[in-house]
Amino acid sequence: MCEKQTLYPILFDPRGFLLPVQRATNSVNKGSEVVGLKCKEFAVLTVFSTSTSLMDKTETKIVAIDSHVGIAITGRKTDAHLIDEYLKVECKKYKYYFGKPYPVNRLVAELGNTMFRNSQRISCQPFEVGILFAGYDEGGSHIYQVMPSGEYFNCKAMVIGGRSQTVRNYLESNLECFLTSTKEDIICDAIRAINWEIPGENQSHLNIAIVGENQKFELLSGKEVATYEKKCRGCESVQDSIQCYSQIS
């Protein structure tokens, strides 16, 4: 009976949850970790990319949507592809009509409304993806979270995906330090955060993207990631990253 109920997006279960939305949220919670951090001038996304089979249901990746904004997605890869293509088209349309980049908060709201409509239509199913936005515009740096239900939140730091509770505790305890970080510091903080749950994870598959003031959205190369990771490996606190990164040429 429960499986049949999930075919109807507007049907509530006895606890008051929409079953398809709950199923989509559970799918996101089983995905890979995605960490987003921001300071005053920069925003960073970091994920672990893993080798998966063609039939694997979940995938995590970072996508540049425009020069000033990008996303990291965990969840169903087909839904992820639909969303990143949709966002790219919306940014191009906005730039064509108004001659300037799409404001990050309005882009997030547009996606949230689209995802919410999918959760309410009988002919559709909710997108089984969790999304973190990183962007920079006239309002400064931004990190936004968008959930399968269409809810979205403006964050200072956020982690989504599996095994995220310990990382979330780490982010909360160091939140004020992140906000005053420099570009190099915030990258080091992101590396440390995503490694907090399982230290020693294979760093060759760590992906990092950064965007900020006078900095287009950019996915760092493997060599750059390895250099940053090596320099911050010995840092035991957020404050130590300043000393670690003073050695970077």
Q: Which tens digits make up the pLDDT trace of 44-81?
A: 999 987 655 554 444 458 999 999 999 999 988 888 99
Q: Which helix (H) or strand (E) holds 168?
A: helix 165-173
Model confidence, pTM: 0.83
Residue linked to tokens 């006895």: 14
Give tens-digit pLDDT for 111-129.
999 998 887 776 678 888 9
pLDDT higher than 60, residue 227: yes
Residue 187 has pLDDT above 90, yes or no: yes
- SS in 3 state form for 66-87? ECCEEEEEEEEHHHHHHHHHHH
Strands 157-160 and 206-212: unpaired
Amino acid at 44: V
Structural domains in the chain, sorted by start: 33-243 (3.60.20.10)
pLDDT in tens, 127-176: 889 999 999 999 999 999 999 888 999 999 999 987 778 888 889 888 88
